[in-house]
A and B are shown apart, each in its own frame.
Chain A
Amino acid sequence: MYLTRRNFLALLSSAACSSLIIGSDAEAVAGKYATIIDITRCDGCKGEAIPRCVKACREYNKDRFPEPKKPIQPYWPRSTFEDWSDKRDLVDTLTPYNWIFVQKVNIDGKELNIPRRCMHCDNPPCVRQCPFGALTKQPEGNSVINDKLCFGGAKCRDVCPWQIPQRQAGVGIYLKILPKYAGGGVMYKCDLCKDKIRRGEEPACVIACKERLGEKAVFTFGERNRIFEIAQRKVKEEGLYLYGSSQNGGTSTLYLSNIPFEIIEKALEVNKERFKMAVNIENKIITTFNPIGKVLLLSGLLSLIGGIVGAIITKKREKGVLNEKKDKETQSC
């Protein structure tokens, strides 16, 4: 094999180019759409057995709910596994069968109803950290779990500041690979009715809320810029508090409340709620990993230059030694 300097450079540049192919439907960084959830308007659908948003979500997504193969094996060497299939009717928490719920919290005698679902972060840790690429951020701004690729390790739930994704054992690709030793099912969460929003329609929860409350609907869904403008205007004009625009580096879900979110956070903590709403949430990808990533790229570039310079210097030195040897030999002749 003969490797010239030209061949070597050609090989390198083609490798670099092929690694940088950019998709045609490349992800917009922040995403196309956003949602306002105005909790000053939410009464949890008083008098109705199931809040409309929850009912609509369950109805629209029912064909995608997991049907586990039983008996379910525990996650060896542990004796536990996560199975919600016997609790499909639960509507007051997040489960693999319930992707949105209305959280109730009492603050100074006033009941707040907070619809809770995935926040659809701008830089989602669940997407960035999934080792199997099962989670992706779509151009519409929603993060989506591919149930065909998900191993159910629940890392997405661990890295999510709100612990939103929920696991069901006994389903998914892990059953075909190492069911006893790795994987644990499939993770489920709101994907903002991905097919509907791709078609330009609104998510099922938003439509259901509008049907009940009309212009006073809790949910407002639309183009991101317009939604952010409406939210900011309401903050200014109505003195409301905003949640979701800065948490975890920004999300596409904006909560509006007339009670400061610090107080809501405290109340949820006191109640030891499964799903909390911390106000100070740092996105470590942005604050920690990205600066290190820049150092990594820079050091790679410097090493590349160092390698070329080193090669030239050592080659020159070797040539010099060789010439010296030849000169000595000629002199001795």
Chain B
Amino acid sequence: MKKKIKRHSLVELIEHWSVAISGLILLFTGLGCLPLYKRYYLTEVVGFGWTANFYNVTLVHYLAAIVFVSAVFFHIFYHGFRGDKELLPKKGDIYKSVKVLAAMIGFGKEPPSDKYLPEQRIAYVGIGLVVLILTISGIVKVLKNLEWLVLSPLLESINTLIHTLFGFIFILSFFIHIVTVVFIRKNWPLLKSMFTGYIEEDYIKERHSLWYEKIKKEENN
């Protein structure tokens, strides 16, 4: 049996999948909050009749938001206080990301990577920013509905528009994330590690050589 190395802790796996699953539900119900499903006959598909009622869709959106917001807050404060920096961009990441993406489609050689690929670090900050804006504008909507926060009509409009527009950006980011993981064979071991927490040593040696060196150094110390 090939030697495996731990890439994600149980906490990280729970964080990832709770954001992913609740995010998917939020994405679906968020789109359902736009008057689209009835127009496009989705409400007539067996099992989707409930989406015809905006109140049902909003209810599911609110319930999924409990999980999403909790996971986002936990993630920020847990890793913020731990001082985890592995997923934060480093100098030269943009250039290296282009090289990684080019290598993925067969052009040139991939540069050696740390625990995360440079494009993963940039994507993390990008998606993270979108998620943060969605979370804050969503919380403002909740506070406004509770009448705990009183906004001027203009600010109420701006906040609602921000939430909707960033919802579309979130859908796009989610889609790109899924495509790069599912359709690029080279990334499959990374997907597997998102379920098991472990990744094969040979894969790390080849693709994440900088991280491998660190692991070995730690072992030797």
Contacts and interface: CB of A to CB of B under 8 A. Distances in A.
B74 A306 contact: yes
Interface stretch (B139-147, B181-189, B200-208): B139-147
Contacts of B147: 29, 123
B144 to A, nearest CB: 8
Interface stretch (A52-60, A112-120, A125-133): A125-133
Interface stretch (A210-218, A265-273, A290-298): A290-298
A307 B11 CA distance: 10
B77 A311 contact: yes
Nearest to A305: B77
Interface stretch (B82-90, B101-109, B209-217): B82-90
B66 A295 contact: yes
A75 B70 CA distance: 39
B152 A131 contact: no
Contacts, number: 184
Given A134-B157, A146-B157, A299 B66 contact: yes
A232 interface: no
B159 A26 contact: no
A13 to B, nearest CB: 12
A49 interface: no
B81 interface: yes
Contacts of B89: 1
A138 interface: yes
B85 A3 contact: yes
A293 B142 contact: yes
B70 A132 contact: no
Contact of B54 (A28, A29, A155): A155
Nearest to B91: A1
B150 A133 contact: no
With a 10 A CB-CB cut-off, give which of A15, A19, A149 has the most chain B CB atoms.
A19
B34 to A, nearest CB: 5
